[in-house]
């Protein structure tokens, strides 16, 4: 029986090829495998615009081979029999030996973390009160704010969210707190940044125009009311931010 080739290439759509390497090649060591796969990917790109590899999500060596062969990680393909990771290289990708190409390769697989920006808005009442939003998509109340978009400054994101959700133009002040949120209820972990929204008259709520899709209402609440209405980790975060007013940025994990 003739020897099986180290790699196999198949055309999966117009000018798109998929590369697969043998278990025998992987057993020779990842560096030897990288040399072969990198060569064959380059050869395939002569006649194709895209070369991709799909490898099991639990196969660390296969992922290493794909990465250092110059294939950028694109995402997870979920499956009943197990998830797979999709890697690909395009004909016009910057060569890996150039700084921009190497950075793009690293950027494709290094961890990314979701960021959430919130604003701590207080009023002039004798008892400390903060602005809380009653949300349409969950029962817990929370500070105004939201997810930071890709490439967006967290400082600008929180002001944008407050404007979009409440119709209020409040510039974000100093960062009060960075709170790490562990994975929970189907969410990946995240960083929540709480910015100071300053002190305002209680009549501020009369100017609020809630975004109907996300906000039911908004009120200034005492810290006891925060404990009653917010999730426990949100209440801890709010108290930690309140306790750090004027103290410089602080760090907590789930409000602790």
Computed over every residue of the chain, the mean pLDDT equals 94
Q: What is the pTM of this model?
A: 0.85
Amino acid 1: pLDDT:
42
Could you give the domains of the chain? Answer: 7-109 (3.40.630.30), 114-253 (3.90.79.10)
Q: What is the 3-state secondary structure (H, E, C) of 175-231?
A: EEEEEEECCECCECCEEEEEEEEEEECHHHHHHCCCCCCCEEEEEEEEHHHHHHHEC
**Per-residue pLDDT tens digits for 172-211:** 999 999 999 999 888 899 999 999 999 999 999 999 999 9
Separation between Cα atoms, residue 101 and residue 84, nearest integer Å: 24
């Amino acid at each position: 029986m003739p020897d099986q080739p180290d790699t196999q290439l198949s055309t999966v759509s117009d000018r798109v090829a998929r590369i697969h390497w043998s278990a025998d090649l992987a057993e020779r060591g990842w560096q030897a495998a990288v040399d072969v796969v990198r060569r064959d990917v380059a050869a395939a790109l002569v006649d194709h615009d895209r070369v991709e590899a799909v490898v099991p999500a639990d196969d660390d060596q296969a992922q290493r081979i794909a990465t250092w062969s110059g294939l950028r990680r694109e995402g997870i393909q979920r499956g009943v029999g197990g998830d797979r990771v999709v890697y690909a290289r395009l004909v016009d990708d910057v060569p890996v030996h150039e700084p921009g190409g190497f950075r793009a390769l690293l950027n494709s697989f290094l961890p990314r973390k979701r960021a959430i920006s919130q604003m701590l808005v207080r009023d002039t009442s004798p008892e400390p009160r903060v602005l809380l939003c009653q949300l349409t998509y969950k029962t817990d109340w929370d500070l105004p704010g939201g997810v930071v978009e890709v490439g967006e400054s967290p400082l600008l994101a929180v002001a944008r969210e407050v404007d979009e959700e409440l119709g209020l133009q409040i510039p974000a002040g100093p960062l009060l707190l960075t709170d790490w949120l562990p994975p929970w209820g189907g969410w990946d972990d995240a960083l929540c940044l709480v910015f100071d929204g300053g002190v305002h008259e209680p009549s501020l709520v009369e100017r609020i125009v809630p975004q109907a899709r996300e906000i039911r209402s908004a009120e200034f609440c005492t810290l006891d009311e925060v404990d009653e209405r917010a999730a426990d980790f949100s209440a801890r975060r709010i108290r930690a931010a309140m306790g750090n007013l004027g103290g410089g940025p602080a760090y907590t994990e789930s409000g602790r």
